[in-house]
Amino acid sequence: MQQVKDRVFSGTQPTGVPTLGNYVGAYRNWLKMQDDYDCLFCVVDMHSLTVRNDAAELRKNAKSLLALYLAVGFDPEKCILYFQSHVPEHAQLSWILNCYTYMGELSRMTQFKDKSAKHSENINAGLFTYPVLMAADILLFNVQYVPVGEDQKQHVEITRDIAERFNNIYGDVFTIPKPLISNVGARIMSLSVPENKMSKSDDASGYISMLDTTDVIISKFKKAVTDSEKEVRYDPKAKPGVSNLLTIYSVMTDKSVKDAEKDFEGVGYGGFKLAVGEAVADKLKPIQDEYNRIMDDKVYLESVSKDGAQKARKIAMKTYGKVARKVGLAQI
């Protein structure tokens, strides 16, 4: 079948529950793409093996992430939702691409440097070749766009380099993908250290999990770090905490930051923080209700997963077959 719409691929690792930062910076933007593009949204469970996990927990998190994709509104009729490990061509292409990727370029990846400093007891080869698996994820599907956070931009760039290198040798095999870096709310910062990006590896008071209850959300916002002034004003340099809260509020309520500032003229930080917490809780509550409903519907989850893997595989096999032929793998 002819590919009519441009194609988009992105993925999330099933390590823990996604945060408000994932929702604002990623899912909210991906959602807007599902009508205009052919989208694949993947649960990249194989990437998570680069650090040690409890097996039962990883499996549970993967299922939970698929349910969350559905709960935020990804429609399996419009986009392909699946688990990376269910489509073996990811690993197969990754091996081949490993042979077209240099040690030097992989050792320059900032995420590898950060992660190997953090997990100095387990600097495994998978951590090193992580970007090659990511390149395989993307290149299997001939996608035009890869929506990612700023921190993943370098990985999309190495994907482009690998694809171009391969195409230079074998002709136009791969589409060269472009990163799409979200701007508004791309950087939701930690509530406890607003100079840092919100991350699930923070201490629990710094981030909002998408499945935090209303009470927990409000209490975390009440404790959010601000500053010693009194004015609710957007100024990320001088007032990182307040500015982060304003960004969050503006995204949750679909208001501009300017209008958000106006809502809080003359309001103290206590009232401001409570209002932001309530706006977040109001936004997440219907998603959480839907998530709980879907988690209880095993039959539905299974059918989405099977159907997604089947559709993804159909595309992946075609690309992989072409690559295997080009590089000379046995055909008989």
**Residues marked as catalytic:** 115, 197, 200
3-class DSSP assignment, residue 97: helix
Phi, psi of 109 (to 5 degrees): -70, 125
Structure-block tokens of residue 88: 């073996």
3-class DSSP assignment, residue 54: coil
Distance linking the first and last C-alpha atoms of the chain? 27
Question: How crowded is the C-beta side of 86, counted as CA atoms within 13 Å?
Answer: 21
Distance (Å, rounded) from C-alpha 163 to C-alpha 170? Answer: 10
Distance (Å, rounded) from C-alpha 257 to C-alpha 169? Answer: 49
> Looking at this protein, which amino acid is placed at residue 184?
V
3-class DSSP assignment, residue 80: strand
What H or E segment, with its residue span, contains residue 146? Answer: strand 145-148
Residues that bind ligand TRP (CB under 6 A): 9-11, 13, 44, 47, 134, 137-138, 146, 148, 152, 155
How do the residues of the chain divide into helix, strand and coil, expressed in percent and rounded to 5? Answer: 55, 10, 35
Distance (Å, rounded) from C-alpha 63 to C-alpha 70? Answer: 11
| Residues in Cβ contact with 192 at an 8 Å cutoff, skipping those fewer than 6 apart | 202, 203, 205, 206, 223, 224, 225
Plot region of 96 (φ>0 → left; ψ -120 to 50 → alpha; else → beta):
alpha
